[in-house]
Amino acid sequence: MALGSSAPEILLSVIETVGGLGKCPGELGASTIVGSAAFNLLVISAVSIYAVNEANDTDEDRDTTVPVGVKKINDMGVFSITCTSSLWAYIWLFICVRDSAVSLSEAWLTFAMFFILIGLSYGADRYKNSQNKGDELVEEDGMAHYVEFKPLEIYQELIAERQGPASKEKSEVEKREKMKKILKEYQKTDNIEKVKFEEFKKQIEGESLVGRIKYRKAVGNLLTGKRPVVAKGEILRQEHAHAELLDEKVKNPNFGFKCLHYSVSEASGSIQIHVINKKGQAGKVRVCTIDAEAKAGDDYEEVKETLEFKQGETTKFITVKIRDDDNWEPDEDFFCQLYDPNTMEELQGQDTRTRVTIIDDDKPGQIAFEESKTIKAIASDKIAEIVIIRKNGSDGEVKVDYETI
């Protein structure tokens, strides 16, 4: 970011320097240093501090040793390095230009100071992290800053414990207890099946740049019809297209689904689908599943039931069980449709059918040559053996076509 925003200044300063070698230094380079450093140290710091309002802190979070209205800097290392480096830039600039000339040694020293600054910044960051090591959870001003395990590691370990016999070794038991403690701290429950992985991951890792990129990619994939990839054993349940976004003219006046497209991973076990009684009057509606690529009995359990709403009751849901297997297969869809319970005719309206996408969590792997470079064969040999391997997963049966060219 710093390089990109300062690129025009750097380019102009380089042009001025190269064009003025052996002459009195121009004002552009010096003005750039003074202007950028002053702006970074004073204006950006001022805006950042002003933006943090003490009203945002709760009584529990507030440091009682700091008077009300005074804002405390938690990480003095970074702030001190920034402040000291900016002030030194002014002093060093004065030393270099006080005789109206910049020597080669002064130029090289200036360049070397850039790497010194990076080293100091890295050292401060490593020192900060070293203070947190040894604790699986460190609290500072009410915020968690360090977790011993990665979110996916916690998720997979506890899911495996729920699905089958877990190791009884003392170290493994203690490890899982630590994970449950972390889970309870963040999600207020140690039942992994009630946890949404993406939400849990965001709580621990924060809304990083990579996270935002992944989010935008997920939105783009949804718009283009691409489906998300889930880890083995990951529980994922998502709602994509809500019926409330439809025009009322195209919806059924009495009954409808709350969401028109769900995604669920194989490992989720089930998916709850909400049906809405829009007028709140007593009545009945029939709900049935319809096969598409996903087949009842193989990929999910068929549902054929009648929902009965009492007077004033507006929401009910059906639970569709999802079947998991260890074979790789493409992501598959099935539908839920609303019917008139008396005539068994499909109800009219765009919100009377919802699509459920079952996302496969098995990894088929990738087919590749064992040796990617040229394979040498002796002309007198009758056979040349070329080894093909399957890597990064081996679930299910896969086939690959091949030919010589």
Give the distance from CA 367 to its chain's centroid: 28
Among 8, 30, 193, which residue's Cα sits nearest to residue 96? 30
Find all residues with CB under 8 Å of 24, minimum gap 6, and list them.
100, 101
Sequence ranges of the domains in the chain: 2-133, 139-205, 237-359
Tokens of 271: 């998916």
Chain segment 290-319, per-residue pLDDT in tens? 999 889 988 899 999 999 999 888 899 899
Strands 353-359 and 261-265 come out as: parallel
Q: What pLDDT, on the 0 to 100 scale, is given for residue 186?
A: 77
Give me 34's structure tokens: 């003074």
Alpha helices in 76-225 (DSSP H): 76-97, 104-132, 151-163, 170-187, 197-205, 209-224
Which residue in 172, 152, 162 sits closest to 193, CA to CA? 162
Q: What is the pLDDT of residue 252?
A: 92
CB 270 within 8 A of CB 301: no
Residue 126 has pLDDT above 60, yes or no: yes
* Both structure tokens of 351: 């919100």
Give 94: exposed, middle or buried? Use CB within 10 Å, 0-12, 13-18, 19+.
exposed
| Global pTM exceeds 0.85 | no
pLDDT in tens, 13-50: 888 888 888 877 778 877 877 777 678 778 887 888 88
Locate tokens 């496969």: which residue? 360
The pLDDT tens digits for 258-297 are: 999 998 888 888 999 999 999 888 999 999 999 998 899 8
Reference 195, options 136, 235, 166; nearest CA is 235
CA angle, residues 301, 307, 298, in degrees to nearest 5: 5
d(CA 328, CA 362): 5
Tell the burial category of 299 from Cβ atoms under 10 Å away from its Cβ (0-12, 13-18, 19+).
Answer: buried
The listed CATH number (3.40.50.300, 3.30.310.40, 3.10.20.30, 2.60.40.2030) that belongs to domain 237-359? 2.60.40.2030
- 128: amino acid identity, one letter: K
The stretches of 188-234 forming alpha helices (DSSP H) are: 197-205, 209-224
